[in-house]
Structure 1
């Protein structure tokens, strides 16, 4: 009887520990369109205007510098919004009906720190997961927590911090922190 009571107490304590662990939330940024920011390299094509077609990097101020129109704000915009902005600027005294296309040539880097073998800044790859990011950083150290990571992410100009599971997506500009396990 005493053993049964001890076993029940252990089961309840273990159940309480499992219940207190926060559940992983769906990634809110997964459904949002990609927003441009500093470090993104863009390919801007103005059809029929080879002098205006080129690659441009979003600078620290959030702008790209284009011939004829000068600084064009890019930070926080989707590629479609930037296309429209460039076309409007070119329509104002330069071209009658510009046909503009914008695509991301290279995404801004992501950062990883904590319990990985090679922390630092790395090139983002499309559809990258946390697990892939850790592999790029050389894998875990012996003390790493391997079920989730802490992530810092900017969404629409606001900085968020939370936890992601290994299969969740990393976004350009994210800072990933691999935590140290307790035991």
Structure 2
């Protein structure tokens, strides 16, 4: 009895976790550096385990050529592939696209190990600082700015609870004593 309850709880947690990941992928806009998986059911020659988007946010696909993925969601890429493969190449293509790895975020200034780090869904600035080895003794928790990947000329003020997005550039300034 205990084992059955344990496994049904575990299955429920996995389903919730999978839905959270799927919801994150459904609104996430792809850009340069993201890695996607493309699966065309029943067509191993058209399925790819890892495709990294180019600097221009594109990828090359058999029979179709160069496709622009920048600014599109995984489901929009699925529909693009279905539209291009349907008719001439396949009768009823079933395509799935999933994000395997998000592009990096960057953190500089008063952290112990500045640099680029892999993005993780649900990442906050507090966790990003922890990934970068923590704050230096001179760091200000009130003078933090983020430049978002999609809005490069508008730095925004941030707190340690601000959400970090893929491609963000975070700068932590010195505090005045």
Secondary structure of 2:82's partner?
helix
| Aligned-partner Cα distance in 2 for 1:56–1:64 | 7
Q: Gaps (5+ residues) in structure 1?
A: 1-29
1:166 to 136, 152, 160: 160
Write the mapping of 1:1-183 to structure 2, written as runs, cut at 5 A: 33-54=27-48, 55-91=50-86, 93-147=88-142, 149-155=144-150, 158-159=151-152, 160-183=154-177
Secondary structure of 2:45's partner?
coil
| Aligned-partner Cα distance in 2 for 1:111–1:77 | 22
| Aligned-partner Cα distance in 2 for 1:104–1:40 | 7
| Aligned-partner Cα distance in 2 for 1:92–1:60 | 31
* Change over 3 Å in CA distance of 1:79–1:103 after alignment to 2: same
Deviation at 1:86, TM superposition (A): 1.2
Deviation at 1:43, TM superposition (A): 0.7
Taking structure 1 as the reference length, what is the TM-score of the superposition? Answer: 0.78
Bigger radius of gyration, 1 or 2? Answer: 1
Taking structure 2 as the reference length, what is the TM-score of the superposition? Answer: 0.80
Report how many aligned residue pairs link the two structures. Answer: 151
Q: Which runs of 4+ in 1 moved over 2 A?
A: none
Kindly report the root-mean-square deviation, in angstroms, between the aligned alpha carbons of the 2 structures: 1.7
Deviation at 1:67, TM superposition (A): 1.9
Deviations 1:73-93 (A, max 9, x none): 100101111111111111252
Q: Gaps (5+ residues) in structure 2?
A: 1-23
